[in-house]
Chain A
Amino acid sequence: MRYLSFVLTHLRKDLRLEWRSRDSINGMLFFVLLMVVVFSIAFDPAGYPSTTRQISGGVLWVGLLFASMTALNQSWTREQRNQVLEAQRMAPSPASALFVGKALANMIFVLVVEAVLAPIFVVFFNLHVLGNAWLLAAILPLGTWALVVNGTFFAALGLRARNRELLLPLILLPLSLPAVLMMVQATTGVLTAELDPIYLRSWITQLACYDIIYTTICILLFETVLNAE
């Protein structure tokens, strides 16, 4: 219960900071909206509805992956300003609570962006969901968590690096490939209804397993990363 209280304290602080500055959400929104517009012009969804449906899952997740990276770097920059991170390191609360709180905050920011993006995406890509739309309620949070948990961890790892904006995509993109594959397959399966439900469930289960494994690893290693020189 004490640990949960620390996590909620960090989460509340990050939400409050974002509410006052709106740096992360605004940056992500502009990026992802521009991406949707550019891709919708490039692929002509009205002319090729079937092809568009096939690629829309990929466009959605790649857009979110790139957009989330801007927010992930931003979230740790706040901790470095005025050396607040040193005050965090001096606090006797568990370091991993800071990580979990920040990952949850980042997840909320990305989910907000997804909520704004979803109707725009449907309109611009002329989409009609042919499969079980309710499955997206499982795929979107699981996929988002897969992006932010690794992203938050590796953004912290690059904190002391000179080119941290470059370092994050270099580490995060290869590591996220399996998760991106699972998210895209599951999302495309729901949008097109062409995937066998057994395979669809299999992709979602694998995505959940990916989340559990990487969350555990990140929590266990975070204190070492935080105190690294």
Chain B
Amino acid sequence: MSTATPIRDQALSVTAASLESVSKIYGAFAALRNVTAAFPAGSSTVILGENGAGKSTLLRTVAGLISPTRGRATAFGDLPLRQRHRIAYMSHSTMLYDELTAMENLSYFATLHRGEGCACVGSPEMALRAVGLDPALPRPVGQYSQGMRQRASLARVLQTDPELLLLDEPFSNLDVSSAGHLVDLLADFRTWPVPGGGRRTLILTTHQASLAEPLADRTLIMRQGQVIDLVTGSHG
């Protein structure tokens, strides 16, 4: 009797992240208005919307980088900041030091996530190879092309082995070929096994719906700080 199916069903029934009546107000501007959404574990959700629709605010709320003005955001049933070891967030900025090489950047963040002397030493190198970058490249990240920066940034989040991966406009400034490569990497990431069973959860925001389509098994559409539609359907 195989145990794979029950574990997968159990994983899908668990919510990786949820927002309950969340509003985020900056002065007189409401970036999020009473948003309620759940992101099941193992799902891949693409959030679409125009500029200012609240996509990034929603993602940053799930990451715990901003706290809601009203309502409650949780990740794995807890406050997102308490689950930081299970969550990774990639923004359209690289979130890397321009003066350091990709390997130096990744080694630095790996130490912050796991501490020195753990069994995961060497994962920065593996993560860089996985995204198609040479770990021995002596150039600092500031001298990389936009596509290389984006890949180095993705390697930074992948090396932390997150269960919940949040990507804010990952395809911005990428040409179609580089974006396609990124989609392949993310599709591969979803198949990585999670210790203790379950599957990886992916939430990404984008303007380019067509690029993200192969990844989307749920599409959330936002307008003016509100979720106006949720389309469910597997493309993967």
- A82 and B95: CB pair below 8 A? yes
Q: Which of B86-94, B188-196, B209-217 contacts A (4 or more CB under 8 A)?
A: B86-94
Say yes or no for B84: interface residue by CB 8 A criterion: yes
- A5 and B156: CB pair below 8 A? no
Residue from the list B65, B81, B108 in contact with A86, Cβ < 8 A: B65
Say yes or no for A42: interface residue by CB 8 A criterion: no
- A78 and B97: CB pair below 8 A? yes
- A16 and B89: CB pair below 8 A? no
Query: Which size class do B's interface residues fall under?
Result: 20 to 34
What residue in chain B is nearest A17 (Cβ atoms)? B99
Say yes or no for B63: interface residue by CB 8 A criterion: yes
Given A91-B109, A92-B84, does the pair A86, B89 have CB atoms closer than 8 Å? yes
Say yes or no for A162: interface residue by CB 8 A criterion: no
Residues of A within 8 A of B87 (CB): 90
Residues of A within 8 A of B104 (CB): 16
- A89 and B111: CB pair below 8 A? no
- B111 and A5: CB pair below 8 A? yes
What residue in chain A is nearest B87 (Cβ atoms)? A90
What residue in chain A is nearest B84 (Cβ atoms)? A92
- A229 and B109: CB pair below 8 A? no
Say yes or no for B85: interface residue by CB 8 A criterion: yes
Within residues 4 to 59 of chain A, which ones have a CB less than 8 A from any CB in chain B? 5-6, 9, 13, 16-17, 20-21
CB distance from A159 to the nearest CB of B (A): 14
Query: Which size class do A's interface residues fall under?
Result: 20 to 34
Given A5-B115, A9-B111, A82-B96, does the pair A87, B85 have CB atoms closer than 8 Å? no
Say yes or no for A216: interface residue by CB 8 A criterion: no
Q: How far apart are the CA atoms of A20 and B85 in the complex, in Å?
A: 31
- B97 and A2: CB pair below 8 A? no
Q: How far apart are the CA atoms of A9 and B109 in the complex, in Å?
A: 9
Q: How far apart are the CA atoms of A87 and B65 in the complex, in Å?
A: 10
- B65 and A20: CB pair below 8 A? no
Residue from the list B64, B67, B109, B116 in contact with A87, Cβ < 8 A: B109
Given A90-B87, A91-B113, does the pair A82, B66 have CB atoms closer than 8 Å? no
Residues of B at the A interface (CB closer than 8 Å) are: 63-67, 81, 84-85, 87-89, 91, 93-100, 104, 108-109, 111-113, 115-116, 140, 156
Q: Can you show 5 pairs from A to B with CB atoms below 8 A apart? A: A20-B140, A78-B97, A86-B95, A90-B63, A91-B112
Residues of A at the B interface (CB closer than 8 Å) are: 2, 5-6, 9, 13, 16-17, 20-21, 78, 81-84, 86-93, 227, 229
